[in-house]
Chain A
Amino acid sequence: MFETLSALAEPNRLRIVELLRAGPQPVGEISQRLRLRQPQVSKHLQLLKEVGLVGVKPVAQQRVYQLRPEPFRKLHAWVEAYRGLWEARFDDLDVVIEDLKQKEKENARHDRRKK
């Protein structure tokens, strides 16, 4: 989790990941499309590979980089779990709020009757 987020926090690495969403690419293609120097791209790809975000496979004479879905699934699961806790709280809070609205209405009716 920590590693996934750290790796993606670097803007150029995120751009590389964004680009790879379209499909696997060789390093030269990535460097050209993003207008980054090839050694720089290689360094980023190396790190992305270390944290498991991308995999590499040989195609013809080239090494092609592609995204691996597993870390993204984990990240999504974490965000969803935390959001889910708040969603559960707020669903219960809806019930409390409805009760308070009801009580306010009843009090208003009661006050009118008194007048």
Chain B
Amino acid sequence: MTAEKSSADGTTLDLPSDREILITRTFNAPARIVFEAITRPEHVRRWWAPRTRGEMLACEVDLRVGGAWRYVMRTTNGMEVGFSGKFLELDAPTRIVQTEIFDPFPEAVSVVTVTLTETGEKTRLQSRILYPSKEVRDQVIATGMEHGMRESYLQLTDLVASLVR
């Protein structure tokens, strides 16, 4: 299942399996700059809580394998949203693997793999979130697919798009 904006540098969202979300976006910069922008807390503060959606209350990053990270934002409607985790793998400037826990569900540990692929002047960022279980997946990404197959998901997007038009 893919959803995307028509512009060339739009963000796409795929559901490659029933436990995953894949987010893809291309940036006009070399990988080392993108890596810096997504790992240094002073930079993360400026984008993780988008200006239009809220403000950053906390942003702590201990960038080493085993090190912890924590982001908290307050949304424009007053809700506090906190995520935290630990770094499992770091390979600057191309790969980050980290755990992710959403505050309300401390038992549910997701694994996020960020890959940066540099081509020419551009870098493609892919963030793959693997949810631990059906329950979490349902809560967080709101899917109840039982035996979803890749083909089904792909078709589903086209289907949804065509029906909405």
Known: A75-B160, A79-B3. A100 touches B145 (CB 8 A): no
Do A6 and B25 have beta carbons less than 8 Å apart?
Answer: no
Partner of B1, one of A79, A88, A97: A79
B32 to A: closest C-beta gap in Å: 9
Chain B: CB-nearest residue to A9? B145
Interface of chain A: mostly helix, strand, loop or mixed:
helix
Do A104 and B33 have beta carbons less than 8 Å apart?
Answer: yes
CA–CA, A5 and B143, complex, Å: 6
Among residues 80 to 109 in chain A, which have CB atoms less than 8 Å away from a CB atom of chain B? 80, 82-83, 85-98, 100-101, 104
Chain B: CB-nearest residue to A69? B163
Among residues 1 to 53 in chain B, which have CB atoms less than 8 Å away from a CB atom of chain A? 1, 3-5, 10-13, 18, 21, 23, 25, 27-29, 33-34, 36-38, 43, 46-48, 50-53
Cβ proximity bits B132-165 to A, threshold 8 Å, 1 near / 0 not: 0000001001111111110110011101111110
Chain B: CB-nearest residue to A75? B160
Cβ–Cβ < 8 Å partners of A5 in chain B: 142-145, 148
B135 to A: closest C-beta gap in Å: 11
Cβ proximity bits B108-139 to A, threshold 8 Å, 1 near / 0 not: 00000000000000000000000000000010
Known: A8-B152, A9-B152. A96 touches B144 (CB 8 A): no
Cβ–Cβ < 8 Å partners of A89 in chain B: 47-48, 50
Q: Chain B interface residue count: which class?
A: 35 or more
Q: Does A36 contact B (CB under 8 A)?
A: no
Cβ–Cβ < 8 Å partners of A67 in chain B: 163
Chain A: CB-nearest residue to B1? A79
Chain B: CB-nearest residue to A78? B142
Do B5 and A93 have beta carbons less than 8 Å apart?
Answer: no
CA–CA, A10 and B151, complex, Å: 11
Cβ–Cβ < 8 Å partners of B145 in chain A: 5-6, 8-9
CA–CA, A21 and B164, complex, Å: 12
Q: Does A76 contact B (CB under 8 A)?
A: yes
Cβ–Cβ < 8 Å partners of A96 in chain B: 37, 43, 46-47
B residues with CB within 8 A of A: 1, 3-5, 10-13, 18, 21, 23, 25, 27-29, 33-34, 36-38, 43, 46-48, 50-53, 138, 141-149, 151-152, 155-157, 159-164
